[in-house]
């Protein structure tokens, strides 16, 4: 029996939709979890910042990509779970552009398959679970409302295959 390729899971959904929970429930001990929120927490600690965004967006993105690059450079086995809100097609394309560059740099484009896990939860559910969070983990309700307005139904396997014909990408939607 042929072993399947390891997977890079790309999480998509509103804050409070269950992205991190889904990752924890599906990971094995040898899998790797990277979270943009955790990256932001590391930045806050290093910079001794009490701001939600401790640096400008462009600089934060560079830190985030460096974090992912480190994980991929050190990868030996298991799946990789990338937990990022990623609600719009432009935000997905931005992540994929940098992620594919990193994989090519380390000659690992053929190593992984990709699965996008879209958490399609009603905004009321997301607001409820978000209200249980504390500190920086809690996203202001008005921000979640704004995010829900920009969230589009762009995730479609046909669009993904046309946009990235050389990559093995699948889509799973969790209602």
pLDDT of amino acid 1:
41
pTM given for the model: 0.91
Q: Which of 71-75, 128-132, 137-141, 148-152 has the lowest mean pLDDT?
A: 148-152
Residue 25: predicted pLDDT: 95
Mean pLDDT of the region 31-47: 92
The DSSP 8-state label assigned to residue 5 in this structure reads P
Q: What's the order of all strands across the beta sheet hosting 169-174?
A: 32-35, 80-83, 7-12, 113-119, 169-174
* Mean pLDDT on 124-134: 96
- Each residue's pLDDT tens digit, 87-117: 788 888 899 999 999 999 998 888 899 999 9
Name all domains of the chain by residue range, CATH numbers in brackets.
7-174 (3.40.50.300)
For the cut 80, the answer to whether the pLDDT of residue 2 exceeds it is no
Of 22, 25, 98, nearest to 58 by C-alpha is 98
pLDDT of residue 108: 87
DSSP letter (8 states) at residue 101: H
Q: How confident is the model at residue 173 (pLDDT cuts 50, 70, 90)?
A: confident
Rounded CA-CA distance 17/39 in Å is 19
CA distance 105 to 92: 20
pLDDT, tens digit, 9 for 90 and up, residues 40-70: 889 999 999 988 888 898 999 999 999 999 9
Residue 152 to residue 89: CA distance in whole angstroms: 8
Span 143-165, average pLDDT: 81
Question: For the chain, what's the residue count?
Answer: 175
CA distance between the termini of the chain: 32
pLDDT of amino acid 161:
84
Supply the mean pLDDT for the chain. Answer: 89
């Amino acid at each position: 029996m042929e072993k399947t390729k390891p997977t890079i899971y790309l999480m998509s959904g509103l804050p409070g939709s269950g992205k991190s929970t889904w990752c924890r429930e599906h990971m094995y001990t040898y899998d790797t979890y990277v979270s943009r929120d955790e990256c932001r927490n590391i930045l806050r600690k290093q910079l001794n910042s009490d701001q939600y965004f401790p640096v400008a967006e462009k600089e934060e993105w560079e830190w985030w990509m460096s974090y992912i690059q480190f994980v991929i450079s050190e990868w030996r086995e298991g799946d990789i779970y990338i937990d990022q809100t990623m609600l719009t097609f432009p935000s997905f394309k931005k992540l994929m552009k940098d992620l594919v560059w990193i994989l090519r740099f380390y000659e690992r484009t053929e190593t992984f398959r990709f699965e996008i896990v879209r958490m399609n939860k009603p905004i009321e559910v997301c607001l409820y679970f978000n209200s249980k969070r504390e500190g920086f983990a809690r996203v202001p309700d008005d921000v979640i409302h704004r995010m829900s307005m920009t969230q589009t139904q762009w995730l479609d396997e046909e669009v993904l295959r046309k946009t990235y014909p050389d990559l093995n990408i699948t889509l799973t939607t969790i209602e």
